[in-house]
Amino acid sequence: MKEVGPHGGRLVERLSPPSVLSELAGVPRLSISRDAALDMENIGTGVYSPLDGFMCSEEFISVVRSGRLPDGVPWTIPIVLDVDEEQLRKQDVREADTALLEHQGVPVGLLEVEEIYRYDRKEYAQRVFCTMDHCHPGVCKVLSLKDVLVGGKISFIQTVDARFPKYDLTPRETREHIRKMGWQHVVGFQTRNAPHLGHEFVQKSALMVLDTLYNGKSGLFVNPVIGRKKGGDFTDEAILAGYEALLSAYYPKHRTLLGIWKTEMRYAGPREAVFHAIVRKNFGCTHFIVGRDHAGVGDYYKPYEAQEVFKQYPDLGIVPLFFKAMFYCKRCGGVVSEDICPHDEQAHIKFSGTSIRQQLTRGIVPHEMLREEVARALLGIENPFVEVDERGEKPCEYRV
C-alpha cells in the first residue's frame, strides 16, 4: 500500500536551531502558557499539518463554525494563541512584527505576527464543546482565555517538556519507523489513561481486523497524550509505565510502536475525536480507533456521538474503526462487548477509572480490569493520579 500522506497534502516542519537566539537582540518577547508552547511544538514538527502557525481570524471562524479550514480541509479544533493586551502594548508588538515566544523564561520559538484580533469566547465554547456549562473543563478554559488572539506563522526552537525523549517522536520519525518495519497499514490508538484489559482487547482486535482485511503487515501505534489533564486522570508517568509493562509482556515487538503526543486534553467529544484522527494521520496511521465516549467527559455527549460525527468527514483520509463499550464478563470469563455477550449486567464488571483508582489506592490489584504487570507498574509510582489540575480544580468538581 502507498504510504498515507499528511493531512492537507504536506508535512509542515517549521524549525529553527537554538543558535538563532543569538541573533534576536531587540526582538519583542511574549510570555505564553505551557499549552500554547506545546501547540507551537506540534505546529513546528508537523503534528498539526497543514497548519504553519497559530490561526488568524478567517481560519478561526471557519473552524469554529464549520469544522473545516477555509479551503475545505477538515479541521475541528481551533489552534490559537491568546495574549494579554497589556503585554502587547509593553512590548510594542504590532502586525507584521516578529516576536519571540517564551514560557517561564524559556524561548520556545518565533511568531511572525500576521493578525491581532478579538473573538467571541461564547461562540467558541458553544460550537466546539456543544455546551456553555462552566463545569466542562474545555469550556472553563476557553472562558478564561485572554481577550486577544494573535495569528501568524511560527518557527519552533525548543521544547518546554523533554521528560520522555525515548518516546518523543515527530511525524517524520514515526513515518521512518513505519517504513523500516514494512507496515502497510497502521492503526492509531489515542489514550489519556493507563491500559486496562478493555484497551488491550480493542487494540489487538484492531490489529486482527487489519490483518484480515488487507492480508499484509500491519502495526499498532499507541499514542498517549502527555500534558495537562483534569484531576482524577492518570499522570503522564503512570500512563507510560503501564504501557511499558503491557507492551513488553503481551505484545509482539515487531507489531507495536509507543510514542507520545505532547498536548492538553480538551474533552471536546466528537470534535476532538476527529482532531485526534487527523493528528494520527500525520503520524502515518491509516486507521484510527474510536471507542465509546471518545474524548468525552461526564454526560455532555451521547455514548457514540464521537463515532457518528465521522459521517460528516468522508474526506478525512484516515479510516475510523468503531468499537462498542467493553467490559469483563464473569460468565464469559473474559473481555466482551454488549453485542457478543448474552449475560445480564450482574455478570459484568465495567472498566471504571474510579474503581481502578480506588482499588489501586488501597493496594488492591483488580485482576478483571488490569494485567498484574500493569498494576504493579502503577503501584510503583508514588502517586499515579492527577489530584488537582492546573486550574486548581479537584476531580469531584467535574461530572466524571
3-state secondary structure of 150: strand
Whether residue 225 contacts residue 233, with contact meaning beta carbons closer than 8 Å, is answered with: no
Whether residue 218 contacts residue 207, with contact meaning beta carbons closer than 8 Å, is answered with: yes
Q: Catalytic: 193?
A: yes
Cis peptide before 252 (omega within 30 of 0): no
3-state secondary structure of 82: strand
- The single residue of 14, 42, 175, 192 carrying the catalytic annotation is 192
Distance in angstroms (rounded) separating the CA atoms of residues 233 and 191: 11
Torsion sign (Cα): 311, 222, 262, 133: positive
Cell numbers representing residue 395 in the block:
476531580
Cell numbers 500493569 correspond to what residue?
374
Distance in angstroms (rounded) separating the CA atoms of residues 254 and 108: 35
Q: Going along the chain, which residue ranges are E strands? A: 29-31, 53-54, 82-83, 98-103, 106-112, 115-118, 148-156, 185-191, 218-226, 256-258, 261-262, 287-290, 319-322, 326-329, 334-337, 348-350
Instruction: Pick the closest to residue 79 from 47, 109, 103 (CA basis).
Output: 47
Compute CA distances 324 → 11, 190, 386, whole Å: 33, 15, 27
Q: Catalytic: 192?
A: yes
Strand-pair category, 287-290 with 185-191: parallel
- The single residue of 68, 121, 193, 357 carrying the catalytic annotation is 193
Whether residue 152 contacts residue 114, with contact meaning beta carbons closer than 8 Å, is answered with: yes
Helices (H) and strands (E) in the chain, counts: 12, 16
Distance in angstroms (rounded) separating the CA atoms of residues 115 and 149: 8
Known catalytic residues are: 192-193
